[in-house]
Amino acid sequence: MNPQSTAECRKLHDHIAAGTETAQTATVAGRIMLRRVQGKLAFATLQDAAGRIQLFAPAKVTPDYEGFCALSLGDWVRVSGLIMKTRTGELSVKVQEWEQLAQARRAFPDKWHGLADPDTRFRQRYVDLWVTDKARATFQMRSEMMSLTRRWLEDRDFMEVETPVFHPVPGGALAEPFSTHHNALGIDLFLRIAPELYLKRLVVGGFERVFEIARVFRNEGISTRHNPEFTMLELYWAYADYGDIMELVEELVAHLARLLQGTTHLSYQGRELDLTPPWPRRSFSELLAAHSGLDVNLRTPLDELRAHCTDRDISVQNHWGPGKLLLELYEKTTEPELWGPVFVCDYPKEVSPLAKDHSENPGWVERFEAIVAGRELANAFSELTDPDEQKARFEHQAAQKDVGDTEAMSVDRDYLRALEFGLPPTGGLGVGMDRLAMLLADVPNIRDVILFPTLRPESL
RNA sequence: GCCCCUCUAGCUCAACUGGCAGAGCAACGGACUCUUAAUCCGCAGGUUCUGGGUUCGAAUCCCAGGGGGGGUACCA
């Protein structure tokens, strides 16, 4: 028989008076978290996925009373008995039948302090989850966040799809991929760094609104904000542009904040964060000028841009053009000072090989990044749909790769062929869902929102 | 990659200036019929991350290695 959840018991019976007993029998199951045996009467605290409830076990009533008292902290049990409230008002299940379901053979972490060592928490998440309330709550929240996101997008006629994790040509982002090998085909494959190019192929195919919640893989450093595999929401919306995407992002994030936190006025790590739409829109150039104090643009002589970079301890590489130099200056001087939420709009074309040329500013593209709580939360653009222009951009990337840029893109010929069949004007978006979860759970480390973060293997 | 910090019983933590490695919880034995981290009595528990070195003596100081954390670089 399936047990009732402790939360349900509480909901149904919490109103009864102290010292009274209902006529109803409940069956609950979970782990023994605490135990207080006092001679002929024992109490235990049972925890299940939904919460905790007390077990009330008088020797007269409880079968194999000795055995019940001998249960270890961490043991799983199923208990049936009348719902009652103790004299002190604690809702309890009287132990009239019980059964041990699983044994905890390893010693229980300190029942008061729990687990403090982050290493143990991440490596033995199965322990962390049942002794650290905040960890359990965070992952439940994350699950709900994913579910709400899907529902919200589906309500707007977006269709969820799944595209390959193995890519013959890594693409869709500027990042170093992991590579692997398929024996039967005798080919090298790359784990995707972004699903972007496949999703846009689907728009070519006529799916006008698609999204994927994609696990992506980037062979880069690990930090409080980076895990080598992480979850990205990407969506593509035919007939939309990056302005429409901005509205979508602020609405989606505000919606999640309202439902998960009850408000759009959040506090993240002690600092206020107001996610109420609309979020400010600022141009990249304007912000760069304001924060760096520099009067620079794409026509500024290269030597001058390089000098500004060098002054700021940026190690300049020879093949960098003005766009890349401006981006470096922005990342050094401007981005760290932004808290947000803010949409940073219009990036240099040189660093945005998949975004559409800006309608008014040559050399720039219609792209934005959403900065929220000082971090890049989303990256989006009006997609580049012109196959000739895309080919030129790919070739420029490939040339960068040839001179040693390991993160540059390769030419994806099939993607170019797809564009030749016609991609309508399309707005595209990528959101770092792990970072969004960090924000909504108010946790400082990406490992707090990834169940099994990447760690060096333990030698057991 | 680089820099800084850290590692003591199953868990949480002590151990002064280099001088007998300890406590609480958990476990184990016992007492206890309304507890809430129950309480009380008793008992047991150690490669002080590993390996070297300095020293009469090392958890403590030095060197090398390993795990972890933070920062930094790259990036979402």
DSSP secondary structure, A265-288, as one string: EEEETTEEEE-PSSPPEEEHHHHH
**pLDDT for residue A337:** 87
**pLDDT for residue A318:** 83
Q: Of chain A residues 130-189, which have a beta carbon within 7 Å of strand B?
A: 173-175
Helix (H, G, I), strand (E, B) or coil at A378: strand
List, as one string, the DSSP characters of A147-158.
HHHHHHHHHTT-
- Whether the CB-CB separation of A47 and A28 falls below 8 Å is answered with no
Beta bridge partners of A21: A84
Q: What is the CA A313 to C1' B72 distance in angstroms?
A: 12
The nucleotide whose C1' lies nearest the CA of A107 is B10
Query: From residue A104, how far is each of A111, A127, A184 by CA, in Å?
Result: 14, 11, 44
**pLDDT for residue A457:** 76
> By C-alpha distance, which of A47, A61, A127, A140 is closest to A94?
A61
The nucleotide whose C1' lies nearest the CA of A454 is B68
Strand B close to A224 by CB, under 7 A: yes
Q: How far apart are CA A83 and CA A63, in angstroms?
A: 17
Q: Of chain A residues 339-398, which have a beta carbon within 7 Å of strand B?
A: 375-379
Strand B close to A337 by CB, under 7 A: no
Q: Smallest Cα–C1' distance to nucleotide B73: which residue has it? A: A221
Q: What is the CA A72 to C1' B46 distance in angstroms?
A: 24
ipTM above 0.95, yes or no: no
**pLDDT for residue A460:** 56
Q: Smallest Cα–C1' distance to nucleotide B69: which residue has it? A: A118
Give me the residues of chain A with pLDDT under 50, please.
none
Strand B close to A441 by CB, under 7 A: no
Chain B footprint positions (protein CB, under 7 Å): 1, 10-13, 24-29, 31-39, 66-76
Percent helix, percent strand, percent coil in chain A, to nearest 5: 35, 30, 40
The nucleotide whose C1' lies nearest the CA of A448 is B69
Q: Smallest Cα–C1' distance to nucleotide B24: which residue has it? A: A110
Strand B close to A67 by CB, under 7 A: no
**pLDDT for residue A1:** 65
Q: What are residue A396's phi and psi, to 5 degrees?
A: -65, -45
Query: From residue A454, how far is each of A227, A434, A458 by CA, in Å?
Result: 7, 14, 11
